[in-house]
Amino acid sequence: MDWERMKTANMVSHRERILIVEDEAEIRDLITLQLQREGYFVDALASGEEAVRQLSHQKYQLVMLDWMLPGLNGIEITRFIRTKSEQKNIPILMVTARVESSDIVLGLSAGADDYLPKPFDVKVLIARTRALLRRTQLQEQYATNGPSKFLEVGGLKVDIDGHEVSCNGLQVHLTTSEFKLLQVMMSQSGKVFTRESLIKEVQGSGVSVVDRAIDTHIFGLRKKLGECADVIETIRGVGYRVKPIDHAN
């Protein structure tokens, strides 16, 4: 590592360590270099078996992995992390050439937090990385201090305690279901939610959301949000998300 990169790395918390699992050396080296330039500490491996062994003795803040790997593939690694690893809550970004809607749904259902198709734009890769790490920091703050009273993305603001929503300062009136959907997605901006996962997240007392009715709720929510409607993105064939904060404006 050259001097300039060392200085950059020292500006970033030592807790921000990322594990890359990618068998194509050229792509693995590219991702490693870009993340190191951003100041992250990176371990890069070429197989799933190596990743499983590494996760048993090294703590990470993010795992970035390919689907098609020799031995254990990306789906199997994801399921291992979510069910058997001590780091089961670590964010997982799947970077892969498997880009069919069914593949994306399978990856997210297995436990991946986000999904980046190959070939990818390096700037998008870095933005997704920041969004996932920021979400982890917010979750840690939640565990330590309790939930934040407000959620903000762009001009959209949610007052959780007051059960109020505003867009560029103008109040927006939502149903209980719409409010819960918006709160869930904004609390994890950048995360892609399948329709099934949204149902699980929002179903509860006073909230009734079933199957494809999610689409109807999202349509109504966007209509009411007006100028802030584009904060909610449709991930075709998969579901929905609120834009990562870096791209919300």
Residue 100 phi, psi (nearest 5): -65, 150
- CA-CA distance, 219 to 113, in Å (whole number)? 24
155-203 confidence digits (pLDDT tens): 899 988 788 899 998 999 887 778 888 988 988 888 888 888 887 777 6
**Structure token digits, residue 104:** 């994306």
User: Mean pLDDT in the chain?
Assistant: 82
Residues in Cβ contact with 213 at an 8 Å cutoff, skipping those fewer than 6 apart: none
Q: What is the mean pLDDT of residues 112-134?
A: 88
Nearest partner of 96 among 75, 76, 110, 80, judged by Cα = 75
- CA-CA distance, 124 to 145, in Å (whole number)? 31
- CA-CA distance, 162 to 74, in Å (whole number)? 42
User: Does residue 147 carry a pLDDT above 70?
Assistant: no
Q: Are 46 and 28 in contact (CB under 8 A)?
A: yes
Question: For residue 1, what pLDDT band results from cuts at 50, 70 and 90?
Answer: very low
Q: What is the mean pLDDT of residues 122-139?
A: 81
Question: For residue 209, what pLDDT band results from cuts at 50, 70 and 90?
Answer: low
* Strand 17-21 versus strand 41-45 pairing type: parallel
Q: What does the pLDDT read at residue 212? A: 62
Q: Are 81 and 54 in contact (CB under 8 A)?
A: no
Most confident of 87-96, 137-146, 207-216: 87-96
The widest CA-to-CA distance across the chain, in whole angstroms, is: 58
Q: What does the pLDDT read at residue 144? A: 52
Q: In which order are the strands placed within the sheet that holds 156-159?
A: 150-153, 156-159, 164-167, 170-172
Lowest mean pLDDT among 33-42, 117-126, 155-164, 218-227: 155-164
The per-type count for the chain, helices as H runs and strands as E runs, is: 9, 12
Model-level pTM?
A: 0.62
Q: What does the pLDDT read at residue 50? A: 94
User: Does residue 125 carry a pLDDT above 60?
Assistant: yes
Q: What is the mean pLDDT of residues 7-33?
A: 78
User: Does residue 66 carry a pLDDT above 90?
Assistant: yes
Q: What angle in degrees, to the nearest 10, is found between the helix axes of 195-202 and 176-187?
A: 110
* The CATH fold of domain 148-247: Arc Repressor Mutant, subunit A (1.10.10)
* The CATH fold of domain 3-142: Rossmann fold (3.40.50)
More confident residue, 144 or 202: 202
| Domains 3-142 and 148-247 belong to one CATH topology | no
- Sorted by where each begins, the domain ranges of the chain are 3-142, 148-247
